[in-house]
Each structure stands twice: as C-alpha cells, then as structure tokens.
Chains A and B, each alone.
Chain A
Amino acid sequence: MGETIAILFIFFVLILFGLVFYFQWQKSSFERQKVEVFSEQTISKSLLASFLPELICSKVGVPTKDCIDLEKLQIADEKMKEELVYYFDLLGFTTIRVERIYPLENENEWTLYDEKPAEVSRKISTPMPVSLFEPISGKYYFGVLYVETYT
C-alpha cells in the first residue's frame, strides 16, 4: 500500500515536471521564432536599402552593385523625409545612414531615414561597405551604409 502511494506520488511529480518543462519549452520556442523572424526582416531590409533605385549607381540604366550615387543621395535625403508614409510602408522601423570614410570632404554623413518605435526591445545594426560615386568628378569614395532595424 505504502509502495503504491510512493509510486503514484513520484508518477505525479514526474508529470508535473513534464508539464512545467513543456510550457517553458513552448515559451522559449516562441521567443526563438520572434528572433528568427526579426533576423529575416533585417536581411530583407538591408538588401532593400542597398538596392534602392533612389540611391544605387547606374550606367546606361544598369545598376552597379555596392555603389551609391552621391547626387542621388543628396536628393534622396530630402525626398525620403517628405515621403515618410511611403517609405514607412517599405522599411518600417529602421534607420538608414550613409557615412563617407575616405577621402573625407565637407559633408560626410547622411541620415536618410530614421523611424524608431516608442520602445526599442531589440536593435540590429548591419554595416555594408559601399562605394560613393561622385558623377561630376568621376571620383569614388569609400563609405559605409548602415541599416539599423528595431523591434
């Protein structure tokens, strides 16, 4: 009789451990899915930003990879702030910055788009080295495109 009670007690304790473990595992599984979705969104936004027609260099209409046209950049800087609703639909909570590293000139930093949520629980910054092309002089500068995504 005593043995039976002990076995039943241990059995219910095991079931309890199993339930607690299952709920913890479900919770961490949801968290992991959130992080995976956020990572995928970060990749897609980074690619989108680096291939924006408003920024990318082109020769005879053919876009050049890893290159930003400085003339387009100056115009995009103003345009993206004017058309916030359109770009928010495209980019969501993101910051897009371009920084000129070498050789330096008078203006070396542009913040094209900057929308942060009221509370930032997670932030991922993806830096991408790019060429900054000055079409008038034909010079190429070394720069970095920063894409920061938030959740």
Chain B
Amino acid sequence: MGLVVVVVLISLGMLFLLKFVVFKPVGEERATFTRSQLATNTLNALMATTTDCRSNFDLKISDLIQGCVDDSGETCDNNLNYCNFLNLTIEELMDETLVAWKKDYLFQVYTDRPALSDVEVEHNGCPGEKDTALFFLPRTYQGQIFVR
C-alpha cells in the first residue's frame, strides 16, 4: 500500500516536471523583440511615406492626416478627399505587410480636441493583448493629433 502511494507521488512529480520544464515554450525573446519593434517601425515608416496623392506636390501621410483632421477640403488627383485616400492607402499597405504576416492591427487617428474628420483602419481590431506605438502631429488650429 505504501509503495503504491510512493509510485503515485513520483509519477505525479514527473508529470509536473514534464509540463513545466520540458514543454516550456522557447524562443520567447525573439517573439518579444519582433512584436515590440513591429508596431513602432511600421508607424514611423508609414508617417514618413511620400504618397502619390498629388503628382505635382509631395505629400506625406503625416501631411494628409493633418489635412484630413482639419477638413481642409482639398482632394488628391484622383478626386478622393484626404481622409478617403488615407483609408485606402493605409489599408493597402497594411494588407501587403501586417495582414500578409498574419498580424491583426488597428490604425487610429484621434485628437485632444473635436476633429472634423478622422481616420480608422483595422483588420480584426486588437481586442486582447496588443503592442502599441504612438506618433504625435501638430494641428493647424491648436491641439495635437495622435496616431496609433
């Protein structure tokens, strides 16, 4: 009887060891590094990108965001307003990068004061655990624009 108890206890101990030591996930450092860099790199690269909105004038995504938020009323060469052009361009870029790499995302532009327009593009959103990057832009009329 005592031996049975010993055998059972040793087996349980080995099972716990198997679960928490042998099957411990590996390579978490790389996953952490990749995730933390991806949001920041993507946002930094996106903000600096020169678009083909106007053929005679270089407009970056950051310029279009400022124009969109303040509802400048200006349009691109294809007659889309800045907000619509931004939504389409960002969705296209994210489809070729984050979505192709099987990452869900949420791209949002918001302000500390009421905005006339906003930009929001997503792929399944980010309801659970997420990695966030933040970018600040000045507004034409007071306040700040936040991009994340």
A: which residues have CB within 8 A of B?
A: 7, 10, 14, 17, 21, 24-25, 28-29, 32, 35-36, 38-40, 42-43, 46, 65-67, 101-103, 124, 126-131, 137-144
Contact = CB atoms under 8 A, between A and B. Distances in A.
Given A39-B29, A128-B37, A128-B41, 14 more contacts: A28-B22, A32-B26, A35-B26, A36-B26, A39-B30, A102-B89, A102-B92, A102-B93, A103-B52, A124-B30, A129-B38, A130-B41, A140-B60, A144-B97
A101 B7 contact: no
B45 A66 contact: yes
Interface of B: 3, 7, 10, 14, 17, 21-22, 24, 26-27, 29-30, 33-34, 37-38, 40-42, 44-46, 48-52, 58, 60, 89, 92-93, 96-97, 101
Contacts of B93: 101-102, 142
A123 B17 CA distance: 29
Main secondary structure of the interface of B (DSSP, over half): helix
Given A32-B24, A142-B49, A144-B97, A131 B30 contact: no
